[in-house]
Structure formats: C-alpha cells, structure tokens
Amino acid sequence: MDACCPDPLPSWADLRHWAGGAEGEALQHQRIHGPTNAQATLRLFGEPEAQVRVTLYRDHHAWCPYCQKIWLWLEERQIPYRIRKVTMFCYGTKEPWYTQRVPSGMLPALELDGRLITESDRIVAALEQAFGPLGPWPLDQPQVLQLRQLERLLFRAWCQWLCTPGLDAAAEQRCRQQFQRYAVAMESALEASGGPFLLGAEPASVDLVFVPYLERMNASLAYYKGFLLRHEHPTIDRWFAALEQRPTYRGTQSDFHTHVHDLPPQMGGCYACPSAEQHELAARIDAGLWPVALPDPETSQAASDGAAAAAVARVVRHAPALVTRMASATGSDPVALDAALRSALMALMAEAPSVPPVGTAAGLRYLRDRISVPRDMDLHAARLLRAALEATAGRDPGTPTAQGPALTQQHRRDQDPAPFVGRV
Ligand SMILES: N[C@@H](CCC(=O)N[C@@H](CS)C(=O)NCC(=O)O)C(=O)O
C-alpha cells in the first residue's frame, strides 16, 4: 500500500491497460473514418485523402456555435475534410498563422478548392452549391427564410433574458414570455412539417442553424433561470431526441456544465433569476450530479458501455499536464494529486468509492470544473468522470469540502489548450 494513500492504487500503465481502446494508428483510423469526434484533424468517411477539397478552421474547444453548424453539416453530408484548430480570444492567444489568413481572427472559416470563405451562412451556401443541399431546401431558398428569421428572434429573446443585468421579477416574467412565444413558434413549425425535424423526417441545413443556440439555451436557462426548455416545450424535446439518435450530433454535442461556464465571457455576462429550482439545478450542474432533473433535460441517450473506459483513456493520455495544472492552480503536492487522480479513475472503473490522499480535494474539483465537452470527451464520459472526481474529493480525509479556484467570468484562460496541443 502507498504510504500516502489508504487504497492500493493502479499505476498509470495499469489504467491505460484497463481502459483498453485504440492507440496509435488504430486510434487515428478511428478518428478519421469512425463516428464524429472532436479530436480528429482529418475526416475521410472511407474515401481516399486525395478526395479532400475542404479545410474547416474551427476552435480548439469545439465550442464556437457557428463552427458547430459547419462541422455538423460536413459530418451529415459525409464530405471529406481537414480540420485546423484555432484558439478563441477568451481561451488564449490566437495563432498568428490564422490571423494572417483571416485578419479578424473570427471563426469559422473554410477553404473550398483553395477559396477561403468566412461567415457561417455563406459557408453553408458555398458547401450546398458544391455538394448539394442537406435536406429538401438549401439555406438560401425563400422556403426556409422564415425559419431562419425565427431562429434569430429566438436567439434575441434568449440573449435579452439571459444577458440583461438587474431584471426585476416583472421583467424576468416578460422576458420569459417573449422567449416562450418564439419557442412555441418553433414547435408549430416542427408540427407543421410532421417532424421530428423542421422540414420533415430528416435533418436539413436549417435544423443545423437552430442546433448550436438551442443547445446553449437549454443549458443556460436551466442553470441561470431554473427553466427547463425540454420540459416546457415537448415538441422541441422531440427534436432534440431525434438529433441525439444521430452519432453526428452526439459527436459535436456539449453538456450543461461546459456551456454554462463558457457562455459568460462569450456573451458579456449571464444573469441568474434566483429561485429554489434555479439553486438546485445550478448546484447539481456544478457538482456534476446527473441527471440534474427528471426526465433528464440534458440528453435522451443512455451512456454507452465504453463511456467509463473512454474517460479513463483521455485522462491517462494527458495525465502529466493535468497533474501539473491541478498542482499549480491549487498549490497542492503534485505527487499526492497524481495519486488522487488515479484514485478517482479507480473509483470510476470499479464503480466503487475510493479514498484519495489528504489535501487533494481542491485539485480534484479543479479538474472536475474544467472538463470540456466534446473537446475532451463526450457527454457521458464526462458525466462519469466528473461524478468520480466529486465522489473521490468528498472522501479526502483532511479537506473533503475544499473547492478549486472559482471559474472566471471574464475569460477562460484556465482552458488554454497550449499544453495539450500535439497530444490530442
Ligand atoms: N457571423 C459570424 C459569427 C462568427 C463568430 O461570432 N465567431 C466567434 C466565435 S462564436 C469568433 O470567432 N470570435 C473570435 C474569438 O472568440 O476568437 C458567422 O456566422 O460565422
């Protein structure tokens, strides 16, 4: 038994073996040809590399909503493409090679046969022209104009509700009603098409226009307003559930925890409307306790059998950089943190509690708060990992309630990808 730890611990090599999964070339092959994933830098869908006509420039965090729209489009249409990842301003330093190409630094951008295109709607239009539409109507047709306008109205109503400071109770109510008016309009459009998608049984480009912000609305309104979009609007829930059956969407889908803490710096602040429901939901999202409500408002999908192993494999891959960050952020002993992290992974694999070295709870919770979905792993793997980190932190024999440093509201440079790049 390790002198500092009450439980006998697996080594990192044991954990790597335990997680199994593809390594080296097999892993690369899976990322290139397998299901949609955030780690790939090339997607071929079984085609030869010589077929690639497209390069997508998107953010390292797989968080940018406009990038998600293009990413999903390429995945749905199975167009071979390369991915070059760029840092968003609020996470770190923008790569000079990118600003030389796109001086504003804005994402997404796309190269099609060597032609650089910016602005996500123009990118979709160019892709539709080159490869044909996704669904019955291209995005620039009058038939979908009203739906695109509705998405913007919903977006504005959401921003007004979420991002206006100091709303009194009456103003909160007005904002909520305005938002729900447009949510009902979206439900009417879904019903008119026969659903589950906006233009019928299969997703179309216009669905992909709605996806990124609907996902962010669902997460942020639960956390800041105690409002469960999918419970309040069952037809929108059905639309989400139909999306969640698609591996394309699941590969790009983020989770509540990631969104609610990434949104404030992007939106210039998100403001809570305190109530018992809001406190309860926010506390559960922060602690990684899921489902945060019943029925689960975050996903309709159960975890796959491989979710725990996937989480372990991702931590094992980055363990030295993670331990260094946990130690420098919390001032804790890196050797103890290394053991604590292995302890949490053991808890995850064995589905049994594990006792970490004394004084490591803050470091474990530091990591719990910084798992980024889908950048690091998928929603279910992240859920299992957050829960294991939280449960293990709670068994710290000395400081079981210690928290890591609070997440910042103005930027997320704690999520700077630099130490991890090149080892994805
Ligand atoms: N209208 C643009 C909006 C793109 C946009 O706002 N991109 C943001 C990310 S969501 C961006 O790149 N901001 C610069 C940065 O954060 O580095 C589009 O549809 O492509």
With a Cβ cut-off of 6 Å, ligand 1 is lined by 64-66, 88-90, 105-108, 119-121
Nearest ligand 1 atom to the CA of 90 is 16
What pLDDT does residue 410 have?
Answer: 84
- Ligand 1 centroid–CA 88 distance in Å is 9
Domain ranges of the chain: 35-131, 142-287, 304-420
Provide the 10 A C-beta neighbour count for residue 300.
16
- Ligand 1 centroid–CA 86 distance in Å is 12
What pLDDT does residue 413 have?
Answer: 83
Nearest ligand 1 atom to the CA of 65 is 10
Q: Which CATH class is domain 35-131?
A: alpha beta
What pLDDT does residue 5 have?
Answer: 47
What pLDDT does residue 299 have?
Answer: 98
What pLDDT does residue 362 have?
Answer: 98
Atom 15 of ligand 1, residue of closest alpha carbon: 88
Write out the DSSP string of 210-275: HHHHHHHHHHHHHHHH---HHHH-HHHHHHHHHHHTSHHHHHH---HHHHHHHHHHHHT-------
How far, CA to CA in Å, does 291 sit from each of 287, 300, 304?
11, 11, 16
Nearest ligand 1 atom to the CA of 87 is 17
User: For the chain, how big is the Rg over CA atoms in Å?
Assistant: 22
Nearest ligand 1 atom to the CA of 119 is 20
Q: Which segments in the chain show pLDDT lower than 70? A: 1-7, 422-424
Residue 73 neighbours by CB under 8 Å, 6+ apart: 124, 127, 134, 205, 208
- Ligand 1 centroid–CA 47 distance in Å is 30
- Topology of the domain covering 142-287: Glutathione S-transferase Yfyf (Class Pi); Chain A, domain 2 (1.20.1050)
Instruction: Tell which one of 67, 107, 152, 211 to mutate to probe ligand 1, the residue whose CB is within 8 A of the most ligand atoms.
Output: 107
What pLDDT does residue 1 have?
Answer: 38
Atom 10 of ligand 1, residue of closest alpha carbon: 64
- Ligand 1 centroid–CA 98 distance in Å is 14
Element containing residue 81 per DSSP (H, E): strand 81-86
Atom 11 of ligand 1, residue of closest alpha carbon: 106
- Ligand 1 centroid–CA 411 distance in Å is 15
Nearest ligand 1 atom to the CA of 123 is 20
- Ligand 1 centroid–CA 120 distance in Å is 9
Atom 17 of ligand 1, residue of closest alpha carbon: 88
What pLDDT does residue 177 have?
Answer: 98
